[in-house]
Amino acid sequence: MSETDSTPLLSGTDPRAANALEYSVSEISTAVKRMVEEGFAYVRVRGELSGVKRHSSGHIYLDLKDEGASLAGVIWSRTARMLRVQPENGLEVVATGRLTTYPGQSKYQIIIDQLQLAGLGALMQLLEQRRKALAAEGLFDDAHKKPLPYLPEVVGVVTSPTGAVIRDILHRLSDRFPRHVLVWPVAVQGEKSAAEVAAAIAGFNNLPLDGAIRRPDVIIVARGGGSIEDLWSFNEENVVRAVFASTIPVISAVGHETDTTLIDHVADRRAPTPSAAAEMAVPVRADLMRHVQRDGDRLEGARIRLFTQARQRFTDLVRALPRREAILAIPRQRFDMAAGKLASALLIMVQRQHTRYERASAGLTVAPLLQAAKRHGERVREITERLVRAAKRRVVDLTLEMNASAKLLETLSYKTTLSRGYAFVAGTKDRLIRRAADIAEGERLTLTFTDGTAEVTADEKSTAEERKSRKRPKPAGQADLF
């Protein structure tokens, strides 16, 4: 603006008022907006966040304040989605953006493009607040932690595919116990890191058990060491909740042994390094084989000892038993005595049964049997005669019914109608003709009489009056009717 344009608007009795230019409100607002935006094109402002409000459109409105002033700020929805640090009340931050004015309310504000925590202390304070909030929800309780499988078939790894971490894990797994490894590549730091890690954990859990890509039995979330800012993705709430919701056991291996992130608290196991996570995931194959061999040797030794002890005990019991001859002596004597008595006892039994048979047969006579047979025979003859008479009556009744049906069939038969002088007329393809109108001119007709059939041709049609006026045709020339 020129010197004249920048002259303030005056009122009252000031003599300069008469020479001052007249501006509209919009012109003043535009001039102030241009001065602010040109003078503070890109600034970094440090202050404490307050009045943070998220609009339904996705925009974030807030205030930056210190001990002496307050500055309004806005973060557009597109920028808000990419922020590494989400704004919260009371958080001390450094906001980077450009100053502008809002003419509708005659105030100035900062359009924030980047938002960073103001120093390590603020970052640690935010981390502690988030840890307490998640712990209060029970996400870190030991009751929710799942045991690791002893020997997983598939190991899922969430990490960068190009770093040294994945090589260390693969090398360690190969040394200890080679397993099938699924790598879900993610960014381990940066704006997209947290979302990709959370999506990878959920993606492994969503794999079908019997699909082409088998679901892992254990998941390792790994990253190398770095500053707290570099590891901040693993402190984000969406990553912590993804680990908590995982039905697959999760091993956290983020940073070095001295580094601690929120994912370490919620994971089922925490490993100090990625290599240590691989050691937790699988046992040492050689040690396992030695254990199996040692257990097999112990089992074989126990079997041999058990067999030896059983054989010794059997030998001891055999020695304590009496001799076979002594055991069988008395039963043999009893058997000999019983065998000696058996012949005479059998003879006595036969004689007794013979005597009983003779007594019983002496009382038997043929007369009662003959009388019973005679009674039953008369009963059978009586029943037979009754059945024969009933059958004859039934035959007579059926014969009468059949004759009546035959007469009725004969009465209703078309042949009876033909015998009274009528004829059955059929056209081509045995088509039944009931009316003269159904006859086509020149059609070949078949006339069926009571004594046979005749083939005729219909030459022309005639009405009933014409047929009455004609003379009765000769019997030998019935075809002349047509």
- Assess whether pLDDT exceeds 80 at residue 271: yes
**pLDDT tier for residue 482 given thresholds of 50, 70 and 90:** very low
Spell out the residues 6+ positions from residue 185 whose beta carbon is closer than 8 angstroms to its own.
159, 160, 161
Strand residues in 174-247 grouped as ranges (E): 180-185, 218-223
Instruction: Locate all alpha helices (DSSP H) within 40-76, ordered by sequence.
Output: none
Name the residue with higher pLDDT: 471 or 183. 183
Instruction: Tell me the per-residue pLDDT of 404-424, one tens digit each, with 9 for 90 and over.
Output: 888 888 777 777 778 778 888
Contact 168, 175 (CB under 8 A): no
Give the residue-averaged pLDDT of 353-371: 80
The structure's pTM equals 0.45
140 domain-assigned: no
Cα separation, 17 vs 160, whole angstroms: 70
Per-residue pLDDT at 1: 42
Name the residue with higher pLDDT: 155 or 3. 155
Instruction: Tell me the per-residue pLDDT of 384-393, one tens digit each, with 9 for 90 and over.
Output: 999 999 999 9
Give the residue-averaged pLDDT of 175-194: 90
324 and 207 in a common domain: no
293 domain-assigned: no
Contact 47, 64 (CB under 8 A): yes
Give the residue-averaged pLDDT of 361-376: 80
421 and 394 in a common domain: no
**pLDDT tier for residue 477 given thresholds of 50, 70 and 90:** very low
16, two tokens: 């300069």
- Assess whether pLDDT exceeds 90 at residue 462: no
Cα separation, 193 vs 85, whole angstroms: 13
**pLDDT tier for residue 6 given thresholds of 50, 70 and 90:** very low
Beta bridge partners of 454: 447
Spell out the residues 6+ positions from residue 113 whose beta carbon is closer than 8 angstroms to its own.
79, 96, 97, 98
CATH of the domain at 203: 3.40.50.261
Give the residue-averaged pLDDT of 366-374: 81
Give the residue-averaged pLDDT of 32-45: 81
Radius of gyration from C-alpha coordinates of the chain: 59
Which of 353, 382, 412 marks a domain boundary?
A: 412
339-348 own/partner pairs: CB under 8 Å, 24+ apart: none
Give the residue-averaged pLDDT of 325-352: 83
Residue 225, Ramachandran bin (φ over 0: left; ψ between -120 and 50: alpha; else beta): beta
**pLDDT tier for residue 469 given thresholds of 50, 70 and 90:** low
Residue 138, Ramachandran bin (φ over 0: left; ψ between -120 and 50: alpha; else beta): left
Got the DSSP string for 338-381?
A: HHHHHHHHHHHHHHHHHHHHHHHHHT--SHHHHHHHHHHHHHHH
With the CA atoms of 110, 114, 116 and 118 taken in that order, what torsion angle do they form, in degrees rounded to the nearest 10? -30
177-180 own/partner pairs: CB under 8 Å, 24+ apart: 177/151, 177/282, 177/283, 177/284, 177/285, 177/288, 178/285, 179/152, 179/153, 179/154, 179/155, 179/281, 179/282, 180/153, 180/154, 180/155, 180/214
- Assess whether pLDDT exceeds 60 at residue 481: no
- Assess whether pLDDT exceeds 90 at residue 439: no
424 and 406 in a common domain: no
- Assess whether pLDDT exceeds 90 at residue 60: yes
266 and 164 in a common domain: yes
Structural domain of 52: 40-118
What's the chain's average pLDDT?
83
272 and 158 in a common domain: yes
Per-residue pLDDT at 9: 46
145 domain-assigned: no
Residue among 121, 51, 36 nearest 87 (CA): 51
Instruction: Tell me the per-residue pLDDT of 81-121, one tens digit each, with 9 for 90 and over.
Output: 888 777 888 778 888 998 888 777 778 889 899 888 776 56
271 domain-assigned: yes
Give the residue-averaged pLDDT of 246-261: 89
Cα separation, 157 vs 274, whole angstroms: 10
Per-residue pLDDT at 473: 55
160 and 216 in a common domain: yes
Instruction: Tell me the per-residue pLDDT of 277-331, one tens digit each, with 9 for 90 and over.
Output: 999 999 888 778 888 889 998 999 999 999 999 999 988 887 777 777 777 878 8
| Total Cβ atoms within 10 A of residue 195 | 17
Per-residue pLDDT at 461: 59
**pLDDT tier for residue 154 given thresholds of 50, 70 and 90:** very high
- Assess whether pLDDT exceeds 70 at residue 463: no
Give the residue-averaged pLDDT of 7-24: 60
Per-residue pLDDT at 2: 41
How many domains are there within the chain? 5
**pLDDT tier for residue 480 given thresholds of 50, 70 and 90:** very low
278 and 168 in a common domain: yes
4 domain-assigned: no
275 domain-assigned: yes
Residue among 228, 236, 229, 278 nearest 253 (CA): 278
Cα separation, 272 vs 43, whole angstroms: 41
Contact 117, 126 (CB under 8 A): yes
320 and 390 in a common domain: no
Sign of CA dihedral 300, 305, 308, 311: negative
233 domain-assigned: yes
240 domain-assigned: yes
Sign of CA dihedral 23, 29, 32, 35: negative
Sheet of 218-223, strand order: 180-185, 154-159, 218-223, 250-254, 269-270
327 and 268 in a common domain: no
433 and 402 in a common domain: no
Give backbone dihedrals phi and psi of 72, rounded to 5 degrees, phi first: -75, 145
Contact 70, 33 (CB under 8 A): no
Give backbone dihedrals phi and psi of 31, rounded to 5 degrees, phi first: -65, -45
458 and 392 in a common domain: no
Cα separation, 270 vs 429, whole angstroms: 96
Residue among 218, 162, 168, 152 nearest 185 (CA): 162
160 and 61 in a common domain: no
400-409 own/partner pairs: CB under 8 Å, 24+ apart: none
Name the residue with higher pLDDT: 57 or 229. 57
Per-residue pLDDT at 15: 60
Which of 72, 95, 118 marks a domain boundary?
A: 118
